[in-house]
Amino acid sequence: MGRYLTPETLRLWLSGLGVGALTGLVWWAGKRRRWGAVPFLVAVFVAAGLNGRSDWPRWSWMSVAGGIVIVLAGAGAAGLLADPAVDRRWFAAGALASLAGVWAGVPETGPALLVGGSLAGLAGSAALARARLAPAAGIGLAAVVGWAALSGAAGRPWAAIGGTLCTGLAPWSVLRPGRTRPTGSRSAGPLRIITHGLLVVLAARWIGVVPHAGWARVAAVALIGSAVTLATRRSAMM
């Protein structure tokens, strides 16, 4: 544990926690009961700026590919939050799993720690404010987790792809064959979170940390994510 639990990691996480909590309290004071993307973006990038970590990801075609995954993840997450049948507890668990995967799959963990602390602070303030997440909150979550992945990749191409793929089921949730019944969507929650965890592990440890992972592994993760998303959607409609 001493390798990971250092004064620097604690400082980054606590800094994110404080900024996230303060941002949430400001939103609470403004009587905003539905939170979109803005509080997530503000909390993370203020915390990053205060800690001198607001660096942009290094340019490469792999980072562009990772950016496409983030866009898909944002669209998929927004779609999930727009569906009243989706249990927000499963969504929150998936977001935590994604961030843990980014932390485990990229060489520079500082951005993931800042994001994790910020999200924890926001979650506490949201509970006090009894705030609800608007669909745009999914876009904000995907953006900050994606930033942690691309920034933490530190120019390593497969870490950039593996890190962004830790968004798990969210990119593949843009595949929406139809509306679901509330009971069906909720019953699919455990299967989704189990598969999400599997995808996160594969993306982080099978792609992110492997210097020459290859596109075959990326395709395998994409196929699994797409197949499970379509299967759970269809079973929910039956």
The pLDDT tens digits of the residues spanning 157-177 come to 999 999 999 988 777 776 554
pLDDT surpasses 70 at 40: yes
The runs of H, that is alpha helices, within 30-156 are 38-50, 61-82, 88-105, 110-129, 135-152
* Residue 192 maps to a domain: yes
Residue 2 lies in a domain: no
CB 137 within 8 A of CB 84: no
Neighbours of 220 (CB within 10 A): 14
Angle ∠(198,204,209) on CA atoms, nearest 5: 145
The count of C-alpha atoms lying within 13 angstroms of the C-alpha of 98, restricted to the half-sphere facing its C-beta, is 31
Q: How many structural domains compose the chain? A: 1
The candidate with the shortest Cα–Cα distance to 218, out of 168, 172, 169, 161, is 161
Question: Mean pLDDT lowest for which of 96-100, 117-121, 185-189?
Answer: 185-189
Q: How far apart are the first and last CA of the chain?
A: 47
Tell me the per-residue pLDDT of 139-161, one tens digit each, with 9 for 90 and over. Answer: 999 999 999 999 999 888 999 99
Listed in sequence order, the residues at least 6 apart from 71 whose beta carbon sits closer than 8 Å to its beta carbon are: none
Q: What residue has token string 């920034």?
A: 151
Q: Residue 152 domain-assigned?
A: yes
Residue 1 lies in a domain: no
Query: How does pLDDT run across 76-111, given as a tens digit for each residue?
Result: 888 888 877 777 777 888 888 899 999 999 999 999
Structural domain including 103 reads 7-237
Q: Is residue 135 part of a domain?
A: yes
Residue 38 sits at the vertex; the CA angle it makes with 96 and 109, to the nearest 5 degrees, is: 40
Is the pLDDT at 7 greater than 80? The verdict is yes
| Per-residue pLDDT tens over the stretch 203-226 | 999 999 998 889 999 999 888 888
Least confident range of 3-17, 42-56, 186-200: 186-200
